[in-house]
Structure 1
Amino acid sequence: MKRTIGLTGSIATGKSTVSRRLKKAGFAVVDADVAARKVVEKGTPALEEIRQYFGEAVLTDEGELDRAKLGEIIFKDAKKRAILNKIVHPKVQAYMLKEREALFKAGETIIFFDIPLLYESHLEDIVDQIIVVRTSRQTEIERLMARDGISEEKAIQKIDTQIPIEEKELRADFVIDNDGSLEITKKQVDQLIRHLKNFQ
């Protein structure tokens, strides 16, 4: 039976660590961040829509998307963030579904959709099960500060743009707790992998 499993979490909860482990075990992973970069490449309809709404200022001299400049704009303005999502999200979804179709045709039976904003984007219906990678709020804040070199206030602001991780946990089929050491996280992922391979 073919299955699509959504992998999500919140910013700096360690979803990428889990994704890498799954890839290492041989599972196909379709990454929403990769899709999001692909659909706004130079010459794409999405980039043109972004230029029309946000202006030339969000483009580099080479005509590519300046992600840092766009990020500054949407971080401060929920309305503009919603407009960007309306432009980009449908195209990301279409890209991922096309990738899934190709992978299933190639013989894959389990495909992971790595989607950071799975719940925020209301994409529960395109997957069969959902795995949430969680940490405590304090760990999330500390990791985000260290990763991005930002203040605690800025880290909290970024985290608070997403649905609380506690709510995501309640809606998940499987939770990986990444609040401890890397070894503890790996053991949980390996347990999940064994479970999945038994049903392939």
Structure 2
Amino acid sequence: MARYLIGLTGGIAAGKSELSRRFNALGITVADADVAARAVVAPGSEGLARIAAHFGPGILLADGQLDRAALRERIFASARERQALEAITHPAIRTLLRETCEQADGPYAIAAIPLLTEAGGRQQYPWLDRILVVDVPVAVQHARLLRRDGISAALADRMIAAQASREARLALADDVVVNDGDPDHLQAKVEQLDRRYRALAAAAKP
């Protein structure tokens, strides 16, 4: 069981997935908050039952799956409804992430949490021993979004603005990986961090 837990975060198009893949290739379990978010609203889950109880049975598709389009319309039309959804899903996501990390093989595990800063940082995730931020300048985020998603510059601006600021994320960081160039340069940094985290895990109390 992993005794040392790392939180990985970063802004949109910063390179969290690439970093996760490289840690995973070194044998490190990476628990993904996006995967956890889908799991806690899967058919038959307590989370989906609570969502249906709050929003009504019309929020479900005929096959019992969550109607994500209908839910999206509801929560973007009402801050209160969005908060109600978050109150149902966020605690369950945090619990699942922690359980996945703690049960992982290896000396440490990583919880990849894109909205760690927005979700309350260390206050909501006190079980994280360390926070790793993958960082890029806003101009690089913007260019990557245009290239990756084929969207307008205005939409890219709105997507970046909807997240926490770069400064707010960096304020949480114990470690920072700057990913503003060729992704191949990331490997040396990941291997360096892997050695550091293994040493920290070995020094942690059992």
* Residue 119 of structure 2 corresponds to residue 121 of structure 1: yes
Q: Report the Cα distance in structure 2 between the residues aligned to 1:150 and 1:82, rounded to whole angstroms.
A: 28
Question: Percent of pairs identical after alignment?
Answer: 39
Matches for 1:42-191 after TM superposition, within 5 Å: 42-56=43-57, 58-75=59-76, 77-103=78-104, 108-124=106-122, 125-191=126-192
Deviation at 1:64, TM superposition (A): 0.6
> Structure 1 39/130 Cα, relative in aligned 2: closer, same or farther at 3 Å?
same
Deviations 1:33-89 (A, max 9, x none): 111111100122211232344445543331212334434554565443332221110
**Cα contact 2:101–2:110 (8 A) shared by 1:** no
Structure 2: gaps (5+ residues): none
User: 2:57 and 2:157 mapped to 1: Cα distance?
Assistant: 30
User: What is the RMSD computed on CA atoms of the aligned residues?
Assistant: 2.3
TM-score, structure 1 length as denominator?
0.86
Amino acid at match of 2:130: Q
Query: Partner letter of residue 161 of structure 2?
Result: D
Matched position secondary structure for 1:176: strand
State which drifts further: 154-163 or 190-199.
190-199
Distance 2:89 2:193 in 1: 32
The structural deviation recorded for 1:161 is: 2.1
Q: Is the 8 A contact 2:76 2:82 kept in 1?
A: yes
Q: What runs of 5+ residues in structure 1 fail to find an aligned partner?
A: none
For the residue of structure 1 that corresponds to 2:103, the secondary structure is helix
What amino acid is the match of 1:111?
A: A
For 2:114, give the aligned amino acid. P
Q: Deviations over 1:143-187 (max 9, x none)?
A: 223333322222222222221122211320000111111122233
CA 1:78/1:181 → structure 2, altered by over 3 Å: closer, same or farther?
Answer: farther
Q: Which moved more, 1:160-169 or 1:5-14?
A: 160-169
Equivalent residues, number: 197
Quote how far apart the aligned CAs of 1:195 are. 2.8
Does structure 1 retain, via aligned residues, the 8 Å contact 2:10–2:135?
yes
Tell me how far apart the structure 2 counterparts of residues 15 and 161 of structure 1 sit (CA, whole Å): 18
SS in 1 for 2:132: strand
